[in-house]
Structure 1
Amino acid sequence: MKIAFIGQKGIPMKFGGVEKHVESLAVGLAERGHDVYAYTRPWYTPKKLKIYKGVHLISLGSFKTKHLDAISHSFKASIDVLRRNFDVVHYHGVGPALMAWIPKLFKPSCKVVITFHCIDRYHQKWGLLARLALYLGEWAAVHFADDTITVSKTLQNYCADTYSADTIYIPNGVDIVKDTSAEIIKKKYGLTKGSYILFLSRLVKHKGAHYLIEAYNQLHTDKKLVIAGGSAFTDDYVKFLKKQAQYNPNIIFTGNVEGGSREWKELYSNAYLFVHPSESEGLPIVVLEAMSFGLPVLASNIRENMEAIAGGHGFSFKNKNVNDLKKKLEHLINSPKLVNEVGLDAKKYVLENYSWVDIVNSVEHVYQELLSFNVVNSFSGKAIHIR
């Protein structure tokens, strides 16, 4: 099959859950012998990079602003698709889904698949008009696609309840990883095994870093707090976070940490606890990644986070409740045996239930069904997709 991916900033992934998802999926499909193309933005992926791990990269410019970056790039990519003979065009995100009508209308031989990653209009960085556009993007995601994929059961239920839409559940995934000793992070930040609490995400308001900093400032602990991530057109919010932390020398801002890098692995491998205080998610890849390292997770009790740590494979606090977050942090800092046991159980659970091998198989199966191919189960993994 000849497959195109639209909506991601680019690959290889530097930051971003969608980018991690697309990279793993695209590379996995290319390894299976498919002809895979990913559209990239030159500010994220260098234009000179034409192929990555068997995936062809098509660089197109965008209007790099908060409101126009994704939609302008998706429009250009959708137009470019018309001159190429793709079997499947796969959009990622409800914003890019607004452009899915283009191949649907002008390239009817091509099948359109859309992955619904998150209810983006809930994110606080968007104004009224942007939220309206993202609401229309949700509608497009379930009406323009030949098949719509949701990355969590919570999103699948949302699409059914809000749009009476039948979608396919195929989650995010994780790779098998090895622990990495603290070398770079010790030299740069003075961090050692178990000496810090980790937050790793883009610094956008709905990820909730401000709740964590406020709660941490009320603790009496020798464990440091590491805020790993950078701005995503949110410079004012980053300034606010640094002002929150200005009188606490134990709060460390690393800036962007490239996914898959040595520093990224070290941060996950050596943290005592991972905290994810997000207000809105799809199915958080960072939570699954932390679990894959055997790192225990404390997350806000929104449904998407609770789905990830279901069955006692993590800890939770009341969403947006700084006092409850503080109490849970105090309890877990003083319960190292419990923290270690839950982390080890979480690692086993996530590797059994969120394997990229199974996810690639399931997405491939969706494509094959749409194209009326004879489906042959050619691997030993299990299918994940659920209608």
Structure 2
Amino acid sequence: MKIVMFGLKGIPFTAGVEVMVEELGSRLVKRGHDVTVLVRPHYTPRSLTEYRGMHLVHLPSIPTKNFDAISHSFLSVFKSVSLNPDVVHIHSTGNSIFSFFPRWFGIPTVVTSHGLDWQRAKWGKLARWYLKMTDFTTCIFPTATVVVSRRLQTYYHEHYGRSATYIPNGASQVNRIPPDEIKKYGLAGNDYILFASRLVPEKGCHYLLEAFQKLDTPLKLVIAGDDNTDREYIKLLKKLAPPNVIFTGFIKGKLLEELLSNAYLYVLPSEIEGLSVGLIEAMNYQNCVLVSDISENMEVIGNAGMTFKNKSVADLMEKMTYIVNNPKYVEEQRHASYQSIQSRYNWEEVADQYEQLYTSIQRSH
């Protein structure tokens, strides 16, 4: 089967959609499928034309906040049709408006909704209106609609009366590794709290910094992440940060693996999510986790970890204080986190479900 995917920045990358495409696409290649991923050259080096068996095709875009994704997807939909695939797989709701075009040419299309993008704080009124409108096209235009969380499945059913196929993200088998590169930050292991995500307002890092300021602990706080679209927000975070906060910037590879392997606690205070790949990975690395009590985060953690009231600095500080003062609880939660993820999120099962979906829409198209 020949599959073309677009609607992401590029691979290899450590963000949610990009991780999903990399893990899914590489597994489909191993099963004998031909997978082409359309990428943006300012995220993927032009010299990289193949990765983990997937063909990478570079298409330009207008690299601004409002036009980067949509300009790339506009070119991608024409390119995808020219490649004459068996299935076109489009990622993110904002790109769903293009999914009718391959169908005109008799090509089945899948759109995966990774979250409700219009809820993100960075968008202005016009962009937010457009993204909210594409919730509707996500349900109507493609041959099949996929969602990564049960909450999204309920949302599309309640608002548009449409059934979406639930296929979550997955987790790979990983090995925890001892501290090495993180020593350059003065970290020895088990001596820091970790936040690893994009530095945008909806991820709630400002709540974490405000709570950490009031926390009586020798632990450091590591903020691992960056975002080129909101530099003012990052400046605000650095103003809020006391001296024992470490900003690593964007990281990946061994350094990220070390941070995930050796944290005392992982905190995700996000206001909105689709299904957090970062949270899944943190739990997969046997971390005790503390997350905001939004339904998407609660869906991921299951019976493991602890929650605090969304946007409440006071409740976040109270829960952090308990966890910091109870290392026995942390050790218990490490095992619970790992078991919770391994029992529910598996990339091989994700690949099975997509493979079955592609086959079924080919037959019915």
Task: Assess same fold via TM > 0.5.
Answer: yes
Matched, 1:195 2:195: no
What displacement does 1:165 show?
Answer: 0.9
Contact kept, 8 Å, 1:204 with 1:232, in 2: the verdict is no
* 1:136 aligned onto 2:130: no
Q: SS of the residue aligned with 2:280?
A: helix
Among 243, 254, 264, the alignment partner of 1:249 is 243
Q: Is 1:100 aligned to 2:99, yes or no? A: yes
- What does residue 338 of structure 2 align with? 347
Taking the aligned partners of 1:218 and 1:303, their CA distance within structure 2 comes to 27
> 1: CA distance between counterparts of 2:192 and 2:94?
36
State how 1:290-309 maps to structure 2 within 5 Å: 290-309=282-301
Tell me, which stretches of 5 or more residues in structure 2 are unaligned? none
Deviation at 1:315, TM superposition (A): 0.6
Counterparts of 1:47-86 in structure 2, within 5 Å, are 47-86=46-85
Q: Tell whether the 8 Å contact from 1:202 to 1:232 is kept in structure 2 after alignment.
A: no
Helix, strand or coil: the match of 2:290?
A: strand
Aligned to 1:174: 171
Separation in 2, partners of 1:332, 1:342: 10
Matching residue of 1:276: 268
2:215 pairs with 1:213: no
One-letter code aligned to 1:329: M
> Does 1:323 pair with 2:323?
no
1:157 to 154, 159, 174: 154
2:225 pairs with one of 226, 229, 234: 229
Report the equivalent of 1:184: 181
Q: Which residue of 2 aligns with 1:381?
A: none
1:100-155 superposed Cα distances (whole Å, 9 cap, x missing partner): 222223x2x21000001001111111111111110122111111111100000000
Deviations 1:221-250 (A, max 9, x none): 1000000001241111111101111xx211
Matched residues in 2 for 1:222 and 1:361: separation?
46
SS class of match (1:371): helix
The separation in 2 between residues aligned to 1:332 and 1:220, in whole angstroms, is: 12
Superposed CA offset, 1:76-96 (max 9, x none): 000112212111000110111
In structure 2, what is the equivalent of residue 267 of structure 1?
259
Confirm or deny: 8 A CA contact 1:98 1:136 kept in the other structure. Answer: no
Give the whole-Å Cα distance in 1 for the aligned partners of 2:286 and 2:75.
41
Q: Distance in 1 between matches of 2:191 and 2:96?
A: 43
Give the deviation of 1:98 after TM superposition.
Answer: 2.1
CA distance in 2, matches of 1:137, 1:44: 25
Distance 1:182 1:330, change over 3 A: same
Q: TM-score, normalised by structure 2?
A: 0.98
Runs of 4+ in structure 1 off by over 6 angstroms are none
Question: SS of 1:241's equivalent?
Answer: helix
1:120 paired residue number: 117
Task: Say whether the 8 Å CA contact 2:302–2:340 is kept in structure 1.
Answer: no
Q: Deviations over 1:192-249 (max 9, x none)?
A: 111000000010110000000000001111000000001241111111101111xx21
- Structure 2 residue identity aligned to 1:249: P
What count of residue pairs does the alignment treat as equivalent?
A: 364
Q: d(CA) in 2 for partners of 1:130 and 1:192? A: 44
Structure 1 residue 314: Cα displacement: 1.1
Contact kept in structure 2, 1:87 and 1:110, CA below 8 Å: yes
1:338 CA drift (Å): 0.9
Give the conservation status (yes or no) of the 8 Å contact 1:39–1:57.
yes
Letter in 2 for 1:202: R
- Structure 1 length normalisation: TM-score? 0.93
